[in-house]
Amino acid sequence: MGNFDLCIAMMAAVTSVIPSALIVINAKGQILHMVVSKYSEKKCRRFAEKELFRIVKLIFGMRNADMVYNTYKECCYSGAPRELFKLEHITARGLKEYFQWHFFPDPSTGNTIIFVRNITETTLLTEEFLHITEQYATVNQELRVAMSKLDLYLMDLEQAHKKLAALYRITAIVQKTVNENEVLNEILEGITRELGFTCAAILLLDKERQELTIKAHRGYSNNVRIPLGKGITGYAALTGQLIYVPDVRHDPRYIKGTHDGVSEVAVPLIVNNEIIGVLDVETNQAKRLQDYDLDLLRSLASQISMTIAHANHVSRVELQAITDGLTGLYNYRYFQTLFEREFKRAVRYKRPLSLLMIDIDYFKLYNDTYGHRQGDHIIRTIAKIIRQNCRDVDIVVRYGGEEFAVLFPETTVDEAFKIAERIRMAVAEYPFANKHSQPGGILTVSMGVAGYPYDAQSETELIDHADMALYRAKRTSKNRVCLYRDHPDVS
């Protein structure tokens, strides 16, 4: 094996570990060989002799296709490797994906090796780290500004020292803790214990209901709901301004939250100029708060806003990592994790577990006839039909291409068969566009079902046997559900 062949073999092995693709094209830009993560060899062969840059244009758009083509030409003319460090792509759901493209020429054959790597997760985490770093710098600057405004001649030096020390302790905890609930509770604990406030609460804005609800608190009840614009906290959320009431007994806006409250401060929580909630504190002391007290609360409100924004962003990134961008279903990688967990649970507790494999009949014919946009619409619609006809506990996955899988915990094969039949009929009866041009005049799916413990004793067996049942359904009449136990090769 030559060095060039060895290079291809090594990069092909990489595709089994990280999301990537290996493509070999000739001087005409036609695909000679392709290996793609999660794609079978059979599926990859479908792209043989296809024009690569036409496919790139369909998937990534004209602008990105031009960048890929120009880099490829530079590689060909120079005879040296070339790289596209970060190509940005917007999915059908409006989510960003990022890819690295590496081009390697082979002077002996005139071919070019292209290695494409999905770097979305790495890029998003890097951007998030930079974003959080900038936010921490802003908060620290606010702390310095707040400290500079302290009038050391008009305040008690001992009290100032205690409050600043408390603020530093609270912010240190925030920077060391990554769990959102832990951070918020530590902040409230510091506000009541270190800063001397009787009660403290973090309320988040429910945009649909237009009301504030308790996220975490000290000294209030759990079921507090305040309409936007009502009370002191609601008014702070409505106006986006800090509201300080020295004596709530004389303010008609006050909504009683504690039996001995005297003064109240409501500080809006703001992220990217959008109000997401309110930090509310009360004290039972008649002593008037100073400007530095309010500045400290503003700094803490910034910490809280940053913590909530970070938690929301991490949740979105995690969701994007485990879901399919076209259908919103779980992706194949996350399916492997869920499948391993559910199979071990079924074995441990001796409970049934069924697996349904689904394939769209004659999908290539429909896709080639009406184009990828219509084909994507078919995949999204069928994914929705499958989800609507399954239970909340069922795990629905886009397995790859036009294939889906459904994992049924605590479900026998007979029970899974009934659900599969319901899905099959719902797809066959759906008024898909151009369905009458399909063989038989309808657009259908074929399915295979296998179950633990009667059909399989291992994870691999369960997948293989469900796939065999699907193959039998495809090989016979299509538009049917086959059970593995009915396969003639099963004893």
Active site residues: 402
Backbone angles phi, psi at 362, to 5 degrees: 55, 35
Q: Report d(CA 35, CA 58) in Å as an integer.
A: 19
Q: Report d(CA 248, CA 372) in Å as an integer.
A: 63
* Rg for the chain, CA atoms, rounded: 30
Cβ atoms of residues 446 and 480 within 8 Å: yes
Q: Is the peptide bond preceding residue 488 cis, with omega within 30 degrees of 0? A: no
- Residue written as tokens 């796939």? 467
Cβ atoms of residues 170 and 300 within 8 Å: yes
Per the rule left: phi > 0, alpha: psi between -120 and 50, beta: everything else, 201 is beta
Pick from 264, 256, 257: nearest CA to 283: 264
Structure tokens at 302: 């910034």
Task: Concatenate the DSSP letters of all residues of 399-466 into one string.
Answer: EETTEEEEEEET--HHHHHHHHHHHHHHHHHS--TTGGGSGGGS--EEEEEEEETTT-SSHHHHHHHH
Exposure b/e, 48-63, CB count within 10 A at least 16 = b? eeeebeebbbeebeee
- Contact partners, residue 137, CB within 8 Å, separation at least 6: none
The sheet carrying 225-227 orders its strands as 225-227, 211-218, 199-206, 274-283, 263-271, 243-245
Q: Report d(CA 238, CA 154) in Å as an integer.
A: 33
